[in-house]
Amino acid sequence: MNDPRLLLLSDRDNVLIACRRIDAGEKIVIGRKPHVLAKTIELGHKLARCSIGAGEKVVKYGVPIGSATRAIEPGEHVHIHNLKSDYIRTHLIADTAS
């Protein structure tokens, strides 16, 4: 059972989607296990449903959307800081620094 603030789009997904903003420090439940958020998760952003290893595919909508650039723990935010698209160039904040 997952927190009602999180949406599972497909049983094959290893990420959950935030249905609303969830503030840092709040407790969420993923698969009956509690996790305390280290950072605020905005509406529509992804959280790891389970451990995702470095290089492992991140699956959303039942299909891979990219690869983890490092290990990601359950309940951790999944975004451009730890996810690289397998389809388009991933733009990082560091790419714009001059």
Express each pLDDT in 52-90 by its tens digit.
Answer: 999 999 999 999 999 999 999 999 999 999 999 888 765
Listed in sequence order, the DSSP H helices in the chain are 93-96
pTM as predicted: 0.86
The upper half-sphere exposure of residue 35, i.e. CA atoms within 13 Å in the direction of its Cβ, equals 25
- 94 by DSSP, 3-state: which? helix
Dihedral sign computed on CA atoms, order 91, 57, 72, 18: positive
pLDDT tens digits, one per residue of 28-40: 999 999 999 999 9
43 or 91, higher pLDDT? 43
Going from the N-terminus, what domains does the chain have, and what CATH number goes with each?
Answer: 6-96 (2.30.130.110)
> Which stretch of DSSP H or E encloses residue 63?
strand 63-68
14 or 94, higher pLDDT? 14
